[in-house]
């Protein structure tokens, strides 16, 4: 196994002295300061002049770092001419608990684009009279100063004024963060000359504003998204202090979207236009679902003088609508709710929305009023009843009348599945596909929360939804605005009843008819719990999922040759897969074969249960439909018995996992990718792990089919071939590849049988034996010797050593045995291991050494010994071993190594160590940490790493390592091994300096 290290340059950091008082002057004087080589501030800094981060980036980090800015009105500017959001931002990152305190503005984006990131534990505090945080500030060069600011897990932020978009595009994102604004909050301030797009998004965050609140000024597009967040506004006195605005500018649009959030203001919330009515702005408020809390001191929607607004209550599958509470006291518009006939009630998606029949949308105080509520809105009628607005389902309930909007009453149990078929007319296939795509999008006024799954069959749209009401529920949809020229010509709805079949009466069933009539689906699977269900037809789990659960639950499939099939047309691992789950002590019994994957992809999950099959188990079966029947199966602490063959991949890709002591027994054989007549290569993988076992009577074929790949991994698992006249073949047909990996204390029991690696001239069989705790038995071993056949038998040592194969017949290796290390560094308790023993004849043993190892054969026994020439003494080598003897008897002993490497550029040691930690190079028992000491030979280029916890053992230890995969630019200069708790002193265990000639060969590379 080869490993390659390709270190990359680490961007240098230029540390700002804490004595610096004028950051901009200091930055200008620095050579090499750039985006890739940022300025770093760690400590306490006070900058008395304006701080400009132009044409480079900066980092403020650390819990003890505070940067105070007192540079007048313009405290901090990020972004100069030439910086671009499409290229490289001028940026500032505040992380690790650092803080910024400023008495003046923070302008993110100025003459060019700028970016500010405030991370976990860090915060900004703006306390000056002119203390604005401006995200996108291009007042002097319109369009050249776009800005983006991101807060993540940042608490305690405080600014005086918050402006997102000032003659520029601005974007503010807050996630798990909070901020307090002591004066005003504006999205797109000014912006009278050009159109800009700015947005603020709060996710699980909170924002409080004490002063003016405006979303959208001028000819701009502004969006304020509240996602599971809280926004609180207390308002201020003055001309505009008793109002908050969405869309007050001329020709602009402002949208606020609420999902699971709280919005509160004691002032009048005005949608569209200024209080004078002169500007012509549009304000949209989308309140999605029933998880929002919205309260205002008054509510006013413009509906004249070119300024107007929309209030959209949008239901989703959460069960209905939220409510607006207007709590102000009657005084002018305060306390009133005036909608100007722009109150709309609709769906957050086009179909599949479920709710009660009546909702209260708005309430006002005792001395206030509601005015200008339109009478109807889609499928609803709206009415003012006392101090409330009530929405009720209206119009004709769908029976069979063609219409584009409507609703349907459902009566049933606590969970009722509804299947819907809409017959379409007035269009062609393309327009119908466009309609389905639009319905899937579920977008209304820019809000996309539609999740219902739609399919198109001919000229009919089909989908399904589930009510969660005890008694009566209502389902509605609205296609009136989806597509022109397409009409809903007919509607069919079928109530499936309770989708959970635990109450179904066991006995004789027709499962397919049962599941179809009940409306089983992937989201709402059929369930069997309690008793024995018997089906005399083929059980087909197509287009849905099936759960068989609980002790005492049994499904008997009594049809002959083909009893049970999983995976119908259209099922796919990329989207919805047909699935069967058997768990909790349940049982599946079949008379014929079980096929996982048929006309589509299929999955079988078995946990703590039992399968008794009457014939074959085939995972991945696509003989009639190339590439459409991929299969996956997982057996967890379960058993399977079958008289047939176990096939992993039949004209299809397949994956099978046996885990947690599962046991599978077949009277036939094992085929991993059995047949493949398709041009597309196929792959089958079988994983046997965690004490699980697979026993077959006949053949074991791994990579059987033409141009296929079969892989079997034994990871503390057992694979047994029972009949003594059977065969095990890796790489059977022409162009096939078969691989068997045996490791972590596994057993491959092929006793009395033949073992062949590479059956033809062009097939390949690879068997890898990893570590020293495996048990492998076979009669013969034959590795194909023809030209072009690259089969091999590989022994890889780990800290447990090397395993031995017990053979009782002829062994023909044909010079194709390899011996190596499973990791880059291995410690073993011996320098000699038996690889093959007991053979009647042994031929084809390689005569050359394998790096650390040399092979020896005598008396039909093959052994591997650490090459004595590679024990490190004075030879400059990049692989080798050393013998350590612990005479103290201490328990345990720990060996550590300090390795000095040359050929690394300054700063590359961090990348090199990170690469080691991120790979399996050192094995699971190794831990690489940076040694702060450097080599005395050359401080600039020679670096050291410390490898600890290599081995915990006593007695004699052989420590081997292989650096051949390090690459041409990294060399081992010296290595020192140190033993603790009784291991001899380091001086007796030193790999000496490897000589100056080695260093001359590749001393260093120049930057």
Q: What is the pLDDT of residues 17-36, one digit of tens each?
A: 999 999 999 999 998 898 88
pLDDT of residue 13: 79
Residue 419 has a pLDDT of: 66
DSSP 334: B
Closest C-alpha among 341, 246, 351 to residue 294: 246
Burial of 786 (0-12, 13-18, 19+ CB in 10 A): exposed
Mean pLDDT along residues 705-724: 95
Closest-CA residue to 632 (of 595, 596, 594): 596
Q: Does residue 350 carry a pLDDT above 80?
A: no
**Does position 387 have pLDDT exceeding 60, yes or no?**
yes
pLDDT in tens, 215-227: 987 788 999 999 9
Bigger pLDDT: 187 vs 944: 187
pLDDT band at 330 (very low <50, low <70, confident <90, very high): low
Question: Would the pLDDT of 928 be above 70?
Answer: no
In tens, the pLDDT along 399-441 reads 545 556 777 776 554 445 566 778 888 888 888 888 887 777 7
- Peptide bond just before 819 cis, omega within 30 deg: no
Structural element, H or E, at residue 341 = none
628: nearest Cα among 550, 698, 680: 680
pTM: 0.54
Percent of the chain at pLDDT above 70?
75
Confidence at residue 414, expressed as pLDDT on a 0 to 100 scale: 44
Mean pLDDT of 142-161: 89
Question: Could you tell me the two tokens for 217?
Answer: 């000024």
Which of 34-38, 476-480, 589-593 has the least mean pLDDT? 476-480
pLDDT for the residue 751: 95
Q: What does the pLDDT read at residue 965? A: 59
pLDDT band for position 492 (50/70/90)?
confident
Q: Give yes or no for residue 925 having a pLDDT over 60.
A: no
Determine which of 14-23, 226-235, 785-794 has the lowest per-residue pLDDT on average.
Answer: 785-794
Residue 739: predicted pLDDT: 96
| ∠ CA 111-116-122, rounded to 5° | 150
Chain-centroid distance of CA 834 in Å reads 45
Confidence of residue 985 (pLDDT cuts 50, 70, 90): very low
Q: Where are the beta strands (DSSP E) in 574-692?
A: 578-583, 587-590, 593-596, 602-607, 610-612, 617-621, 631-636, 639-642, 646-650, 654-659, 663-666, 670-672, 682-689
Helices then strands, counting H and E runs in the chain, come out as: 5, 93
Q: Is residue 145's pLDDT more than 70?
A: yes
Whether the per-residue pLDDT at 316 is higher than 70: the answer is yes
Of the segments 199-203, 354-358, 549-553, which one has the largest average pLDDT value? 199-203
| Residue in the structure block whose two tokens are 């401080």 | 939
**pLDDT given at position 238:** 46
Q: What is the mean pLDDT of residues 106-129?
A: 90
The whole-number average pLDDT for the span 497-515 is 65
Report pLDDT for 6: 25
The mean pLDDT value of the chain amounts to: 80
**pLDDT for residue 456:** 83
Nearest alpha carbon to residue 579 among 534, 649, 634: 634
């Amino acid at each position: 196994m080869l490993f390659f290290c390709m270190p990359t340059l680490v961007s240098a950091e230029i540390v700002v002295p804490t004595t610096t008082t004028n950051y901009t002057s200091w930055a200008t004087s620095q050579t090499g300061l750039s985006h890739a080589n940022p300025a770093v501030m760690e400590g306490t800094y006070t900058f008395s002049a304006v701080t400009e981060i132009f044409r480079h980036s900066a980092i403020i980090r650390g819990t003890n770092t505070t940067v105070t800015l007192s540079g007048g009105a313009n405290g901090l500017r990020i972004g100069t001419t030439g910086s671009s959001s499409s290229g490289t931002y001028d940026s500032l990152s505040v992380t690790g608990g650092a803080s910024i305190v400023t008495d003046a503005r923070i302008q993110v984006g100025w003459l060019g684009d700028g970016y500010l990131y405030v991370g976990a534990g860090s915060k900004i505090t703006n306390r000056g009279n002119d203390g604005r945080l401006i995200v996108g500030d291009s007042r002097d060069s319109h369009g050249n100063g776009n800005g983006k600011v991101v807060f993540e897990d940042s608490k305690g932020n405080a600014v005086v004024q918050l402006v997102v978009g000032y003659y520029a595009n601005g974007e503010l994102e807050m996630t798990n963060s909070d901020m307090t604004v002591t004066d005003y909050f504006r999205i797109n301030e000014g912006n009278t000359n050009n159109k800009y797009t700015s947005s603020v998004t709060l996710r699980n965050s909170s924002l409080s504003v004490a002063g003016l609140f405006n979303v959208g000024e001028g000819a701009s597009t502004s969006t304020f998204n509240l996602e599971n967040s809280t926004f609180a506004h207390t308002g201020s006195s003055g001309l505009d202090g008793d109002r908050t605005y969405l869309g007050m500018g001329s020709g602009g649009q402002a949208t606020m979207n609420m999902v699971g959030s709280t919005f509160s203001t004691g002032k009048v919330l005005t949608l569209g236009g200024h209080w004078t009515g002169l500007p012509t702005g549009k304000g949209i408020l989308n309140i999605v679902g029933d998880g929002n809390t919205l309260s205002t001191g008054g509510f006013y929607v413009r509906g004249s003088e070119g300024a107007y607004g929309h209030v959209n209550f949008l239901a989703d599958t959460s069960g209905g609508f939220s409510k607006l509470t207007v709590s102000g006291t009657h005084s002018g518009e305060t306390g009133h709710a005036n909608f100007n006939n722009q109150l709309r009630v609709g769906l957050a998606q086009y179909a599949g929305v479920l709710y009660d029949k009546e909702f209260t949308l708005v309430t006002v105080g005792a001395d206030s009023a509601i005015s200008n509520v339109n009478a109807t809105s889609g499928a609803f009628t709206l009415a003012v009843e006392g101090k409330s607005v009530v929405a009720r389902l209206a119009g004709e309930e769908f029976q069979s009348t063609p219409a584009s909007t409507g609703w349907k009453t459902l009566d049933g149990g606590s969970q009722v599945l509804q299947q819907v078929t809409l017959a379409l007319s007035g269009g062609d296939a393309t327009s119908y596909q466009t309609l389905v795509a639009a319905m899937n999008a579920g977008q209304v006024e820019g809000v996309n929360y539609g999740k219902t799954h739609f399919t198109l069959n001919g000229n009919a749209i089909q989908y399904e939804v589930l009510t969660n009401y005890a008694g009566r529920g209502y389902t509605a949809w609205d296609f009136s605005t989806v597509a022109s020229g397409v009409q809903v010509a007919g509607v069919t709805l079928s109530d499936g009843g309770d989708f959970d079949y635990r109450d179904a009466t066991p006995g004789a069933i027709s499962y397919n008819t049962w599941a179809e009539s009940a409306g089983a689906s992937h989201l709402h699977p059929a369930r069997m719990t309690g008793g024995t269900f018997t089906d005399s037809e083929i059980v087909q789990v197509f287009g849905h999922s099936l759960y068989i659960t609980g002790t005492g639950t049994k499904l008997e499939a009594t049809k002959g040759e083909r009893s049970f099939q999983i995976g119908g047309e259209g099922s796919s691992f990329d989207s919805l897969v047909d699935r069967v789950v058997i768990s909790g002590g349940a049982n599946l019994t079949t008379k014929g074969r079980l096929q996982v994957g048929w006309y589509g992809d299929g999955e079988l999950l078995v946990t703590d249960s039992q399968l008794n099959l009457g014939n074959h188990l085939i995972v991945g079966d696509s003989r009639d439909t190339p590439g459409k029947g991929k299969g996956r199966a997982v057996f967890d602490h379960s058993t399977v018995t079958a008289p047939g063959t176990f096939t992993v991949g039949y004209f299809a890709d397949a994956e099978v996992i046996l885990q947690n002591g599962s046991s599978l027994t077949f009277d036939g054989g094992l085929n991993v990718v059995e047949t493949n007549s398709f041009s597309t290569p196929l792959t089958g993988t079988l994983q046997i792990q965690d004490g699980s076992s697979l026993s077959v009577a006949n053949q074991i074929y791994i990579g059987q089919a033409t141009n296929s790949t079969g892989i079997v991994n034994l990871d503390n698992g057992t694979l047994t071939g029972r009949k003594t006249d059977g065969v095990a073949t890796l790489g059977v047909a022409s162009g096939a590849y078969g691989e068997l990996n045996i490791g972590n204390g596994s057993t491959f029991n092929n006793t009395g049988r033949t073992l062949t690696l590479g059956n033809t001239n062009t097939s390949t069989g690879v068997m890898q034996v990893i570590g020293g705790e495996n048990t492998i038995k076979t009669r013969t071993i034959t590795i194909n010797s023809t030209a072009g056949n690259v089969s091999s038998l590989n022994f890889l040592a780990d800290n447990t050593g090397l395993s031995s194969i017990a053979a009782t017949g002829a062994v023909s290796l044909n010079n194709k045995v390899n011996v190596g290390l499973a990791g880059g560094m291995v410690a073993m308790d011996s320098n000699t291991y038996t690889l093959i023993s007991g053979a009647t004849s042994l031929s084809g043993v390689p005569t050359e050494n394998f790096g650390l190892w040399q092979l020896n054969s005598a008396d039909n026994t093959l052994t591997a010994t650490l090459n004595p020439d590679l024990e490190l003494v004075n030879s400059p080598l990049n692989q080798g071993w050393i013998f350590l003897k612990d005479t103290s008897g201490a328990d345990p002993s720990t060996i550590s190594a300090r390795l000095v490497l040359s050929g690394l550029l300054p700063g590359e040691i961090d990348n090199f160590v990170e690469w080691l930690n991120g790979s399996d190079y050192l094995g699971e028992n190794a831990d690489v940490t940076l040694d702060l000491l450097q080599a005395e030979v050359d401080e600039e280029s020679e670096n050291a790493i410390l490898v600890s916890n290599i081995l915990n053992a006593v007695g004699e230890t052989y420590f081997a390592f292989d650096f051949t995969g390090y690459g041409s630019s990294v060399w081992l200069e010296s290595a020192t091994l140190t033993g603790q708790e009784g291991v001899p002193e380091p001086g007796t265990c030193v790999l000496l300096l490897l000589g100056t000639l080695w260093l001359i060969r590749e001393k260093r590379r120049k930057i």
